Amino acid sequence: MKFSFVSLFPNLIKPYFEDSILKKAIEKNLINIDFYNPREYSKNKHNKVDDTLCGGGAGQLMFPQPLFDLLDEIKTKDKDAYIIFPLAAAKPFKQSDAIRLAKKKHIVMVSGRYEGIDERVIETYANEVFSIGDYILTGGELASTVMADAISRNYDGVLGNNESLDEESYNLNEDNKLTLEAPSFTKPIDFNNLRVPSELLKGNHAKIRNLKSKLSRCKTKYFRP
Ligand code: SAM
C-alpha cells in the first residue's frame, strides 16, 4: 500500500520510515511512501501558504490554493487516493480504523500547520478526518505518522508474525466489547524477587488462557471502566 504525506515539513516524517519495521516494509515493497510540499504549489510570489483569519482571531491559516492544486494533482494521478486530514477537532482515530484502512491501496495524509487549514479544503477533499487525542499538536505531521504506523502494521506481511495482531489491546472480544491486553512477562522468571505469575509457567494452556482473560478483564475495567 502507499502513503502520500502532504506536509510543509516532510523531514519531520521521513526519519520514522528509515528504521525498524517500516523501513523493512519499504525494502520489501509492501509499503511505499512519497511526499508533497504545499509550498511548492503556492502561486504566491513569495511561496506563502498561510494568511490571516477571516473575521479576525490569532494566528494564520493555510489558504486553499496550494492545497487545491496539490490534491487535484494527486487525484488526477490516482482517482482512488483516499484523503485523510488529521484534525484536533475530529472523531478519535481507533484501532478499528487502522484495521479498516489497511485495506486501502493509497492513503493521503494532509498535515495542517499554523491554526490549521481553510475549511473549504477539508470540505472538498476529505474522505475522512481524525483526531489522535484530545490535545493540540503544533502540526499534523506526528498525527499522520502515528496513523500511518498503526495502519501499516495491519497490512499483510508488515509484521513478521501476523499472529501478533490477534491478541492485542483494542481488539473486540466475543461480546463485541473492547479489551486491553493482559499484563505480559518474559524471562527471567525471578527478577529482583519479582516473580512471573506461576500459572504462566506450568504449560496448562487452558489455565493460561483463563488467567490471561481474567487479567485482561481487570485491566480493561481499571483503565476503561
Ligand atoms: N486551531 C486548531 C483547533 O483548535 O482545532 C488546532 C490547529 S493545530 C495547532 C495545527 C494542525 O495540527 C491541525 O491542522 C492538525 O493537522 C494538527 N493537529 C493538532 N492536534 C491534533 C490532534 N490532536 N489530532 C490530529 N491532528 C492534530
pLDDT (tens digit per residue) in 78-94: 999 999 999 999 999 99
Tell me the pairing of strands 106-110 and 128-130: unpaired
List the residue whose alpha carbon is closest to atom 6 of ligand 1: 115
Say how many Å lie between the CA of residue 116 and the centre of ligand 1: 6
Q: What is the CATH number of domain 2-152?
A: 3.40.1280.10
Q: Which range, of 85-89, 118-122, 165-169, averages the lowest pLDDT?
A: 165-169
Q: Please report, for the chain, the start and end positions of each structural domain, with discontinuous segments joined by +.
A: 2-152, 167-223
Instruction: State how far the Cα of 195 lies from the Cα of 60, in Å rounded to an integer.
Output: 55
At residue 175, the pLDDT reads 83
Sign of CA dihedral 136, 139, 140, 146: negative
Examine the pLDDT at 95 and tell me if it is beyond 80.
Answer: yes
3-state secondary structure of 168: coil
Name every residue whose Cβ is closer than 8 Å to that of residue 184 and which is 6 or more positions away in sequence: none
At residue 176, the pLDDT reads 85
Instruction: Give the phi and the psi of residue 199 in degrees, each rounded to 5.
Output: -60, -30
Q: Under CATH, to which class is 167-223 assigned?
A: mainly alpha
The 10s digit of each residue's pLDDT in 124-157 is 999 999 999 999 999 999 999 999 999 999 999 9
Q: What percent of the chain has pLDDT over 90?
A: 92
Closest by Cα among 93, 107, 105 to 3: 107
At residue 169, the pLDDT reads 94
Say how many Å lie between the CA of residue 8 and the centre of ligand 1: 14
Examine the pLDDT at 16 and tell me if it is beyond 90.
Answer: yes
The 10s digit of each residue's pLDDT in 20-71 is 999 999 999 999 999 999 999 999 999 999 999 999 999 999 999 999 999 9
Examine the pLDDT at 165 and tell me if it is beyond 90.
Answer: no
Sign of CA dihedral 140, 147, 74, 129: negative
Mutate to test the pocket of ligand 1, among 137, 138, 141, 146 (most ligand atoms within 8 A of CB): 137
